[in-house]
Amino acid sequence: MNGGGVNGVALGVFIFFFLAVTVMGFLAARWRRAANDQSLEEWGLGGRSFGTWVTWFLLGGDLYTAYTFVAVPAAIYAAGASGFFAVPYTILVYPLIFTFLPRLWSVSHRHGYVTPSDFVRGRFGSKGLSLAVAITGILATMPYIALQLVGIQAVLDVMGIGGGDGTNWFVKDLPLFIAFLVLAAYTYVSGLRAPALIAFVKDGLIYIVILVAIIYIPIRLGGFDDVFAKAAHAFSQVSPATGKPKGALAPPATGQWGYATLALGSALALFMYPHSITATLSSRSREVIRRNTTILPLYSLMLGLLALLGFMAIAAGVKVTNGQLAIPTLFAQMFPSWFAGVAFAAIGIGALVPAAIMSIAAANLFTRNIYRDFFKPDASPAQEARVSKLVSLLVKVGALIFVLGMDKTVAINFQLLGGIWILQTMPAIVSGLFTRWFHRWALLVGWAAGMVYGTLAAYGVASPTQKHFGGSSAEIPGIGQIGYIGMTAFVLNVLVAVVLTFAFRAFKAPEGTDETTASDYVADAGDKDVKVELPPAPVN
């Protein structure tokens, strides 16, 4: 995609930062290392020892990914203001999580829960419901990891290496293989400590790049007035494919319901992802979680500025057939080569951090809620850690195959489908933090109803490039408005769970055993912001 060949200066800067974070990734194995570190809590949760700032950077690195860096402005580049939905949903999410994440941390801390499925099993006494939550989390995470690799691939493509139109598949994808191997190696060695340490570099680079871009690029383009005027003119042009305007600077009235439901549904789903909960449970106290929900909105400010890059790409005359290349191409055109390398490094490292956390979270789900629950109930902490390390490698291999073997549009659409799926775990997880009123079987059937409806509805959505799974919005039955499929499936999920709870109670179906107590969910002296002292792992 880089018509001028390899950008040597940008590539050199990119390699420098990549090597630096690689060294950090391996050194992280010694950072805050416990005397006895052969356990899943140490490898997969960093010993539950992270304070406010480490957690803040870890969650930021976890939630604001390379895909965010590339896809949010790419959506605005392609369709206009409808792509801004990511900004209000990240504003909505923090008051929501303030109400339930501290409770989840407290109960997980006291019972040694590592995954949300652990909590669901303990709360409702149901391995079946726990398995459903675990499988959903793994399925939703896989394409998300793949999209981080897509972000790296886009940067490599614009720099003139990898991707592109090479005839030798191995040569053109070799840089991506190298990035994958490095990521796999230091994640295996250091666990969650690696992305926690690298997140400092990642977020620092992203803030620097965005602040420079938001000032420097508009100056080169004649100011924001010209940027918005050129974007408005471009969106007013009629698309040959649809016969309608290509986009708008503000969502039209017919799209406002879809915009609102997509923002709300995305906010509800964000902290249902396993990697979000993994980063949360790595905190050393309940107060760390509460403080983070008050300062994480700073990332929303960054995201709003980042989104404006989509308009700047239009004003700069960036022409790409793949929208994911719009922002890397903009950086290559606007910045000096050395700073373009810094920007590309920010995107590349912004892919490594969340990909590592996601693979760890998916591996923890498999180990705790499939391997231990159904195959080896007496697994020692050391055995759990070994299995999780191996599974984290397999998850990354699966994501790499997904990227190399499928069209990028397919990967994006499967990630959209993952958002619909993960939202269906919310009734079991969040309701359980406040009440046990729902019957476990009703929650399981409600989850199945939401999953089936959401998948079928998404399958029926077509796009110019995809016959099926072409998006995540469709007409809401009975309302006639276009809305987010995930929210419609979620409402169906809750309704089924409510109705069947009454039915199962009427027939006196077994309730299951709740291993938690009311005091497990509230703060006490044990939740103060002090380092957690973990018991030594039993000798294997």
Q: Tell the residue number behind the tokens 């503000």, with chain if given.
A: 250
| pLDDT score recorded for residue 530 | 45
pLDDT band for position 472 (cuts 50, 70, 90): confident
Alpha-carbon distance 139 to 425, whole Å?
12
| Angle 103-107-109 from CA coordinates, rounded to 5° | 115
19 residue type, one letter:
L
287: which 2 tokens?
Answer: 């107060």
pLDDT at 463 over 70: no
What's the length of the chain? 540
183 has pLDDT over 70: yes
More confident residue, 84 or 518: 518
Nearest-10 Cα torsion for 369, 374, 375, 376: 70
Helices and strands in the chain, H and E counts: 22, 2
Sequence-distant (≥ 6) Cβ neighbours of residue 334 within 8 angstroms: 213, 216, 217, 220, 312, 316
**What pLDDT does 539 receive?**
39
pLDDT for 448 beyond 90:
yes
Res 533: pLDDT: 40
DSSP string spanning 267-296? HHHHTTSHHHHHHHHTBS-HHHHHHHHHHT
Given this model, what pLDDT does residue 537 score? 41
pLDDT computed for residue 462 by the predictor: 67
pLDDT digits (tens, 9 = 90+) for 285-322: 888 888 888 888 888 888 888 888 989 999 998 888 77
User: Higher model confidence: residue 204 or residue 242?
Assistant: 204
The span from the CA of 266 to the CA of 294, in Å, is 19
**Whole-angstrom distance, CA of residue 419 vs CA of residue 487:** 10
Q: Assess whether pLDDT exceeds 80 at residue 35.
A: no
User: Among positive and negative, which fits the CA dihedral 486, 492, 498, 502?
Assistant: negative
- pLDDT of amino acid 252: 72
Least confident of 31-40, 362-371, 474-483: 31-40
Check pLDDT > 60 for residue 118. Answer: yes
* Cβ neighbourhood burial of 244 (10 Å; 0-12, 13-18, 19+): exposed
Q: Taking residues 272-277, report their average pLDDT.
A: 90
Q: Residue 240 burial (CB < 10 Å; 0-12/13-18/19+)?
A: exposed
Per-residue pLDDT band at 202 (split at 50, 70, 90): confident
Q: How much of the chain exceeds pLDDT 70, in percent?
A: 87
Predicted confidence at residue 396, as pLDDT, reads: 85
CB 121 within 8 A of CB 373: yes
Distance CA 538, CA 387 (A): 16
Residue type, 362: A
Alpha-carbon gap, residue 94 to 539, rounded angstroms:
41
CA 279 – CA 46 distance, rounded (Å): 9
Residue 425 CA to residue 276 CA, distance in Å, equals 14
Look at residues 502, 513, 56 and name the one whose alpha carbon lies nearest to residue 296.
56
**Mean pLDDT, rounded, of the chain:** 83
- Cβ atoms within 10 Å of 538's Cβ, excluding its own: 11
The span from the CA of 504 to the CA of 498, in Å, is: 10
- More reliable by pLDDT, 155 or 215: 215
- Position 2 scores a pLDDT of 47
**Selection from 449, 451, 467, 447 nearest residue 459 by Cα:** 467
pLDDT of residue 393 exceeding 60, the answer is: yes
Q: What percent of the chain has pLDDT over 90?
A: 27
Picking from 128, 105, 132, the residue whose alpha carbon sits closest to that of residue 512 is 128
Instruction: Average the pLDDT over 9-16 and give the result.
Output: 88
Secondary-structure percent of the chain, ordered helix, strand, coil, rounded to 5:
75, 0, 25
CA proximity to 180, closest of 23, 20, 397, 403: 397
407-443 pLDDT tens trace: 666 667 777 888 899 999 999 999 999 999 999 999 9
Q: Is the dihedral of CA 332, 333, 339, 343 positive or negative?
A: negative
The CA-based angle 224-226-230, given to 5 degrees, is 120
Among 20-34, 74-88, 222-236, top mean pLDDT goes to 222-236
**Amino acid type, 212:** V
Return d(Cα 143, Cα 417) in angstroms, integer: 9
Which phi-psi region, left, alpha or beta, contains residue 39 (left: φ > 0; alpha: ψ -120 to 50)?
A: beta
* Per-residue tokens: 281: 């449970």
Q: Structural domains in the chain?
A: 1-29+38-121+141-374 (1.20.1730.10), 409-510 (no CATH)
User: When comparing pLDDT for 510 and 80, which is higher?
Assistant: 510
State if pTM tops 0.85.
Answer: yes
- Radius of gyration (Cα) for the chain, nearest Å? 23
Residue type, 380: S
